[in-house]
Structure 1
C-alpha cells in the first residue's frame, strides 16, 4: 500500500478543482494548472478534498498511485504559493544581473553568459551574488535553477561556483608539499 497515495489532498481556500475523466484542472490565485493521470488510477473529487485510488493491484497501478497524489498536491501548492529555488554565486568577480527578461552572469569566463528565462518562470536578483527562481510549476522551476547552476557548478577545492542556498559542498584538501 502506498503511504503517500493513501493521504487525501485537501485544497486550500480560494482553490477550486475540476475533474474530467483522467484530467484534473486546479484554479487558484496564481493561475490554472492541469495534470492528466494514467489509466491505472481514479481521481475522485469530493468537495475540497481530492483522493486517488488505484484501479487494481498491479505493480504499475501502485506506482502511479503515489506519483499521481504527489502531482495533484503540487498543483494545489503551485497555484497558491508557488515554488522557489534560491541560488548563491561564490567566487571572486562572480555576479548576476537582470538585463530585461534575460539573466546576465559573470562567471570568470572570457565572456558574459546570457541566460534566457523560460516562459512562466520569474527570476529576480536581490543581490549581485543571489538569484531567486520562482514559478507555479515545480518541475520547471527546478529545471531552470539546474540550468543556471550548470554554467559553473561548485568545485570541491575552493567551493567556487553557483550553488543552491544552504547546499553543503564536500570540500577536499589540496596538494601537500
Structure 2
C-alpha cells in the first residue's frame, strides 16, 4: 500500500484540474502544466482534490501509484508557488551577469561563457556572485541549474566554482613539502 499514493492532492483556491483519459491538466496563477500517467493508474478529480488509484496489485501499478501522485502534487506546487534554485559563485574574478536573454559567466576561462536562457525559466543575478533560477517546471529548473553548475563545479582544494546555495563542499588538504 503506497503511503504517498493514498493521500489526495488538494487543489488550493485559484487552481483547477481537468482529466481527459490519462492526462491531467492543472491551471493556476503562474501558468498551465500537464502530466500523462501510465495505464497502471486511474486519475479522478473530486471537488477540490485529485486522487490516484492503482488498476491492479502488480508491482508496477503500485510503483506508478505513488509516482503519479507526486508528479501531480509537483504540478500544483509549480502553478501556485513555482520552483526556485539558487547558485552561488566562489572564486577570484568569477562572476555572472544577465544581458538580455543570455547569462554571461566569467569563470576563469580565456573567454566568457554565454548561457542562453531556455523558455519556461527566468534567470536573475541579484549580485554578481549569485544566480537565481525560477520556473513552474521542477525538472526544467533543476536541469538548468545543473547545466550552469557544470561549467565550473566546485573543486575540493580551494572550493572555487559554482555551487548550490547551502551546498557543503568537502575540502581536501593540499600537498605536503
Helix, strand or coil: the match of 1:158? coil
Corresponding pairs, count: 177
Helix, strand or coil: the match of 1:92? coil
Is it true that 1:92 corresponds to 2:92 in the alignment? yes
Report the equivalent of 2:132: 132
Helix, strand or coil: the match of 1:63? helix
Is it true that 1:172 corresponds to 2:172 in the alignment? yes
Report the equivalent of 1:34: 34
Distance, in Å, in 2 between the alignment partners of 1:62 and 1:36 is 17
Report the equivalent of 2:10: 10
Distance, in Å, in 1 between the alignment partners of 2:168 and 2:5 is 31
Distance, in Å, in 1 between the alignment partners of 2:157 and 2:82 is 35
Report the equivalent of 1:78: 78
Distance, in Å, in 2 between the alignment partners of 1:170 and 1:98 is 30
Distance, in Å, in 2 between the alignment partners of 1:119 and 1:64 is 29
Offset of residue 176 of structure 1: 1.2
Report the equivalent of 2:58: 58
Listed as ranges, the matches of 1:94-133 within 5 Å are 94-133=94-133
Please list every run of at least 4 consecutive aligned residues from structure 1 whose deviation after the TM superposition is greater than 4 angstroms. none
Distance, in Å, in 1 between the alignment partners of 2:168 and 2:10 is 34
Report the equivalent of 1:151: 151
Distance, in Å, in 2 between the alignment partners of 1:151 and 1:157 is 17
Offset of residue 7 of structure 1: 1.2
Offset of residue 140 of structure 1: 0.2
Distance, in Å, in 1 between the alignment partners of 2:164 and 2:57 is 39
5+ long unaligned stretches in structure 1: none
Distance, in Å, in 2 between the alignment partners of 1:150 and 1:120 is 20
Distance, in Å, in 2 between the alignment partners of 1:119 and 1:30 is 14
Distance, in Å, in 2 between the alignment partners of 1:172 and 1:91 is 17
Helix, strand or coil: the match of 1:111? coil
TM-score norm. by structure 1 comes to: 0.99
